[in-house]
Amino acid sequence: MFPDTGQDRRSQAAKALFERAYSRQMRGDFPEAVLLYKQSIETLPTAEAYTFLGWTYRFMGDLEAAIAECKNAILIDPALGNPYNDIGAYLIDLGEFAEALEWLRKATLSRRYESYHYPWFNLGRAHAALEQWPESLRCFEKAAELAPEYRAAHQAAAEIRRMMQ
């Protein structure tokens, strides 16, 4: 997440600020989390800090700011999948399903992502909203294949199968 340059002080300071921001975010102290993420970014910009800043804005109900921060993350590291998925999810929340598809596809193709099942699940959501049932089912099944313990994907696939009968 942060460049490993041994004892690089900027990297360590940015990481410490990021960890404090994340802790505040998880406690629901979003304004403080925003300040700490911004301080982390000022110290050493990382795609993760921009992405998590965006996620915090989403919790605060500001989807436009969330999308903007994810786009900043992509400028820093286009290989990171999280900001593409997050933009797609935020666009789904805004009812912009067709536009979400492009971002979610990019997330599924990203080189660096630990949870590929999320963009596949979100692709399924977007296709379902567009009433593209076979494609929606394929995406939910792919999410379930990638993360067999992800119940939401199994449930969504089962629901689509019922609808298609």
pTM above 0.75, yes or no: yes
CB-neighbour burial class of residue 71 (10 A; exposed 0-12, middle 13-18, buried 19+): middle
Other CB atoms within 10 Å distance of the CB of residue 3: 12
pLDDT tier at 83 (50, 70, 90 boundaries)? very high
Q: State pLDDT tens for residues 154-165.
A: 999 999 999 999
The whole-angstrom separation of Cα 49 and Cα 71 is 12
Could you report the per-residue pLDDT of 1-50, keeping only the tens digit for each? Answer: 655 544 588 999 999 999 999 999 999 999 999 999 999 999 999 999 99
> In the prediction, which pLDDT does 1 show?
61
Cα 8 from chain centre: 28
How far apart are the C-alpha atoms of 125 and 155, rounded to whole Å? 12
Structural domains of the chain ordered from first start: 1-77 (1.25.40.10), 98-165 (1.25.40.10)
Please give the pLDDT value at position 13. Answer: 95
The whole-angstrom separation of Cα 84 and Cα 103 is 5
User: What distances in angstroms separate CA 140 from CA 91, 129, 147, 159, one per listed residue?
Assistant: 18, 13, 11, 10
Alpha-carbon distance of 9 to 137, in angstroms, equals 48
Tens digits of per-residue pLDDT, 93-135?
999 999 999 999 999 999 999 999 999 999 999 999 999 999 9
β-bridge mates for residue 112, sequence order = 80
pLDDT at 4: 55
